[in-house]
């Protein structure tokens, strides 16, 4: 049994990590300020040590890491458009809190810290698929903040010997992703609307593509990164290695849900990138990563979950 701190553990991806760790018999502490996270995401809340607090406070970061072997840093204010409209708040959550946590993890001598990176750092460079050796080209405050976080993580490995790994997530989706805000991930929003028989709005022409990744695949990679010897100091893509346009997404979801609703087309969104697709060869080599759940299967599981949950009602 090992001890894990999951920052943002009451959020979407964090809660999936927490549940997997508990089922493997590990001891879990969560630190979450509940800005985007929710208690309801954690059905086994009584089995975790829950700290409701903000990592932008350095003392909280120090308290959170005490006695922990591994730190899975998922806490963030996600969403590209949200960062465009309020860069200061997202900077505080995505950069200030990350630096506090890195300092605290270094001082407490944790075994390894895994940072939740983002595909957004690649920006709009034309080459596909995106490979880790390509230069970053952040097109939004969120992308820049995630790039700073991964650079800080690598620097802490070089300067202080703190073992860190960044996993660059590509449009992760699955159960418990909150569909309730205009900043929510597109799959959660579209499922909610289609289940209600309402048309989703596509920003732009709908030909933009994403490498949508089911959350269980990401959990596999993050946990593998905690023990893989060659993962230290690395930044790795984790995705499906495929790309799907928004038009295709609407059509696939309509088939699964069994509705025929025409989408509405709106203006393109500021800070959006056009295409995104990962080269996952490095994660395959270093983490033995293979996506276990296909995109189709992930969509089916996610639709089932929203159908059964009360979130959409």
Q: Which residues pair with 130 in a beta bridge?
A: 278
The answer to whether residue 142 is catalytic is yes
Q: Which residues, in sequence order, are CB contacts of 248 under 8 Å at separation 6+? A: none
Is residue 7 within 8 A of residue 73, CB to CB? The reply is yes
Q: How far apart are CA 70 and CA 26, in angstroms?
A: 11
Q: What are phi and psi of 114, to 5 degrees?
A: -105, 125
Kindly state whether residue 202 participates in binding ligand UD1, applying the rule CB under 6 A.
Answer: yes
Kindly state whether residue 177 participates in binding ligand UD1, applying the rule CB under 6 A.
Answer: no
Q: How far apart are CA 24 and CA 34, in angstroms?
A: 25
DSSP state for residue 40 in the 8-state scheme: G
**H runs (alpha helix) in 196-273:** 215-225, 246-257
Kindly state whether residue 130 participates in binding ligand UD1, applying the rule CB under 6 A.
Answer: no
Kindly state whether residue 179 participates in binding ligand UD1, applying the rule CB under 6 A.
Answer: no
For residue 201, the minimal CB distance to ligand UD1 (Å) is 5
Q: What track of x and - describes contact with ligand UD1 for positions 224 through 263 (by CB under 6 A)? A: ----------------------x-----------------
| Cβ proximity to ligand UD1, 164 vs 171, nearer residue | 171
Kindly state whether residue 210 participates in binding ligand UD1, applying the rule CB under 6 A.
Answer: yes
Residue nearest to ligand UD1 (CB): 120
Q: How far apart are CA 101 and CA 292, in angstroms?
A: 31
Kindly state whether residue 138 participates in binding ligand UD1, applying the rule CB under 6 A.
Answer: no
DSSP state for residue 97 in the 8-state scheme: H
Q: What track of x and - describes contact with ligand UD1 for positions 19 through 58 (by CB under 6 A)? A: ----------------------------------------
For residue 66, the minimal CB distance to ligand UD1 (Å) is 30
Task: Identify whether 129 is preceded by a cis peptide bond (ω within 30 of 0).
Answer: yes
Contacts to ligand UD1 by CB under 6 A: 78-80, 118-120, 169-171, 185-186, 189, 201-203, 208, 210, 246, 269, 272-273, 276
* Active site amino acids: 142
């Amino acid at each position: 049994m090992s001890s894990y701190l999951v920052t943002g553990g009451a959020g979407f991806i964090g809660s999936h990590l927490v549940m997997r760790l508990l089922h493997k018999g590990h001891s879990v502490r969560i630190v979450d300020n509940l800005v985007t996270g929710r208690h309801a995401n954690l059905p086994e809340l009584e089995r975790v040590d829950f700290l409701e607090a903000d990592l932008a406070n350095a003392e909280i970061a120090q308290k959170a890491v005490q006695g922990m072997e591994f730190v899975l840093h998922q806490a963030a204010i996600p969403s590209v458009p949200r960062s465009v409209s309020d860069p200061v708040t997202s900077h505080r959550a995505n950069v200030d809190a990350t630096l506090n946590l890195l300092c605290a993890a270094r001082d407490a001598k944790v075994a390894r810290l895994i940072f939740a990176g983002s595909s957004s750092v690649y920006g709009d460079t034309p080459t596909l698929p995106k490979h880790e050796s390509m230069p970053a080209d952040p097109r939004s405050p969120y992308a820049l903040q995630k790039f700073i976080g991964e650079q800080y993580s690598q620097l802490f490995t070089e300067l202080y010997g703190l073992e860190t790994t960044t996993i660059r997530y590509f449009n992760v989706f699955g159960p418990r992703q909150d569909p309730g805000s205009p900043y929510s991930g597109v799959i959660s929003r579209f499922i909610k609307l289609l289940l209600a028989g309402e048309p989703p709005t596509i920003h732009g022409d709908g030909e933009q593509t994403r490498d949508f990744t089911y959350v269980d695949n990401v959990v596999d990679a993050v946990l593998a990164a905690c023990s893989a010897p060659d993962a230290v100091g690395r930044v790795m893509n984790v995705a499906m290695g495929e790309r799907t346009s928004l038009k295709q997404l609407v059509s696939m979801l309509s088939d699964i849900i069994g509705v025929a609703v025409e989408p509405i087309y709106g203006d393109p969104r500021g800070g959006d990138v056009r295409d995104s697709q990962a080269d996952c060869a490095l994660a395959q080599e270093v983490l033995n990563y293979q996506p276990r759940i296909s995109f189709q299967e992930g969509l089916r599981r996610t639709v089932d979950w929203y159908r059964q949950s009360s979130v959409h009602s």
